[in-house]
């Protein structure tokens, strides 16, 4: 790639062959050969995609920076954008895995990663611009370039593994639609790991439904869903991992309920034991099954507060050493 080319397409064709020789290893690499190909109405200098059309790598070649009409990194990210638009099943809008971008201008190579955040692509420079010339920086550039290509292979293989894992995940039973609500009341029981709110949620009919909204550092959505399906937890309306390590949970509000007491504990003992044994057999634990976390009304009871729940052996109540 350090040779001089009068024709930019010849640099691309030669460069793609060399790149495929360098990075063509791991995870069935033959399936992920960089190819100059059409993306809708456009054509990249070279790209490869994974399952469901997920963009893995985009390469852009230029003979030189002088007198060019577009920045090579910007042009490559534009191709990534087009690949996200054409992804199968509309996954592109919510995708968070990075795509690798490599720009090759003359004898220099630069590595980037770009990730789609809502409607904008954010670009991160992974390396400085490195030269293919053996004499550059007394050979240090070439040594660094070898390490950069090795890191590129590792990162690409991690991305492929994540894509495959995502594709094999079964669909979750919890509704995935966004829930719109307006908070109207705050429970004055703030703790450092969570906050509780009562909110109004508009319905399609124009009416308003009262819901409970929780923000928590930890939450077992699977255990909540299990208990709801058993008829003993409020309906889970929405769940989302938020920036900063928080989770947002919207659920059915249970008005006019009371905590479990001695009388109701006796009345619900058999059903409660059956419920707990059921999720224990599935490998789940609640972690905080106190009277305060079991609400009752008439002949019904609901388990709440799944903050410390999860897989047995993987989660623990914070007071546990």
pLDDT in tens, 269-291: 999 999 999 999 999 999 889 99
| CA neighbor of 94 nearest in space, from 48, 54, 147 | 54
Distance separating alpha carbons of residues 271 and 196, to the nearest angstrom:
28
Residue 74 or 202, more confident: 74
Share of residues in the chain with pLDDT > 70 (%): 87
For β-strands 99-105 and 55-62, DSSP reports them as: parallel
pLDDT in tens, 2-33: 667 777 888 898 999 999 888 875 445 456 88
Of the ranges 83-87, 166-170, 245-249, which is most confident?
245-249
pLDDT at 141 > cutoff 80? yes
- Which range has the worst mean pLDDT, 71-75, 84-88, 249-253? 84-88
Distance separating alpha carbons of residues 232 and 106, to the nearest angstrom:
66
For β-strands 38-39 and 42-43, DSSP reports them as: antiparallel
What confidence category does residue 320 fall into, taking pLDDT thresholds of 50, 70 and 90? very low
Distance separating alpha carbons of residues 12 and 15, to the nearest angstrom:
5
Other C-beta atoms lying within 10 Å of the C-beta of residue 66: 6
Distance separating alpha carbons of residues 268 and 274, to the nearest angstrom:
10
**Helix residue ranges per DSSP H, the chain:** 8-23, 72-85, 140-168, 221-229, 262-281
Distance separating alpha carbons of residues 141 and 149, to the nearest angstrom:
12
227-231: long-range contacts (C-beta < 8 A, 24 or more apart)?
227/275, 227/279, 227/302, 227/303, 227/306, 229/173, 230/275, 230/278
| Per-residue pLDDT, 232 | 95
Query: What is the token pair recorded at 221?
Result: 């959505």
pLDDT in tens, 287-310: 889 998 999 999 999 999 999 998
Looking at residues 186-190, what average pLDDT do you find?
A: 69
Average per-residue pLDDT for the chain = 85
Residues in the chain: 321
| Per-residue pLDDT, 229 | 94
pLDDT in tens, 97-113: 899 999 999 999 999 99
- 191: burial class by Cβ within 10 Å (0-12, 13-18, 19+)? exposed
| Per-residue pLDDT, 32 | 80
pTM of the model: 0.52
Looking at residues 135-143, what average pLDDT do you find?
A: 84
Close Cβ partners of 263 (under 8 Å, ≥ 6 residues apart):
none
Looking at residues 141-154, what average pLDDT do you find?
A: 92
| Per-residue pLDDT, 321 | 40
Distances (CA, A) of 160 to 34, 164, 275: 15, 6, 39
């Amino acid at each position: 790639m350090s040779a001089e080319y009068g024709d930019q397409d010849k640099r691309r064709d030669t460069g793609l062959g060399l790149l495929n020789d360098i990075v063509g290893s791991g995870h069935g690499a033959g399936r992920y050969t960089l190819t100059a190909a059409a993306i809708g109405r456009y054509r990249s200098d070279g790209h490869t995609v994974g399952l469901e059309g997920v963009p893995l790598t985009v390469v852009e070649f230029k003979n030189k920076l002088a007198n060019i009409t577009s920045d090579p990194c910007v042009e490559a990210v534009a191709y990534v954008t087009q690949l996200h638009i054409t992804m199968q099943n509309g996954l592109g809008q919510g995708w968070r895995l990075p795509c690798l971008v490599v720009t090759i201008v003359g004898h220099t190579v630069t590595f980037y990663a770009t990730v789609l955040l809502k409607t904008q692509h954010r670009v991160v420079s992974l390396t400085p611009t490195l030269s293919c010339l053996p004499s550059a920086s007394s050979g240090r550039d070439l040594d660094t370039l070898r390490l950069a290509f090795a890191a590129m292979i590792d990162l690409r293989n991690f991305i492929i593994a994540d894509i495959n894992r995502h594709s094999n995940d079964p669909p979750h039973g919890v509704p995935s639609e966004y829930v719109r609500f307006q908070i109207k009341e705050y429970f004055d029981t703030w703790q450092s790991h969570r906050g509780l709110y009562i909110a109004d949620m508009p319905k399609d009919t124009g009416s308003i439904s009262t819901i409970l909204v929780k923000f928590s550092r930890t939450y077992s959505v699977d255990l909540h869903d299990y208990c709801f399906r058993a008829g003993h937890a409020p309906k889970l309306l929405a769940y989302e991992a938020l920036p900063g390590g928080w989770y947002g949970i919207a659920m059915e509000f249970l008005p006019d309920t009371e905590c479990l007491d001695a009388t109701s504990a006796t009345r619900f003992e058999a059903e409660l034991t059956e419920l707990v044994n059921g999720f224990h057999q599935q490998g789940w634990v609640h972690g905080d099954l106190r009277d305060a976390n079991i609400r009752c009304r008439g002949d019904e009871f609901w388990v709440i507060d799944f903050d410390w729940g999860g897989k047995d052996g993987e989660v623990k109540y914070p007071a546990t050493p």
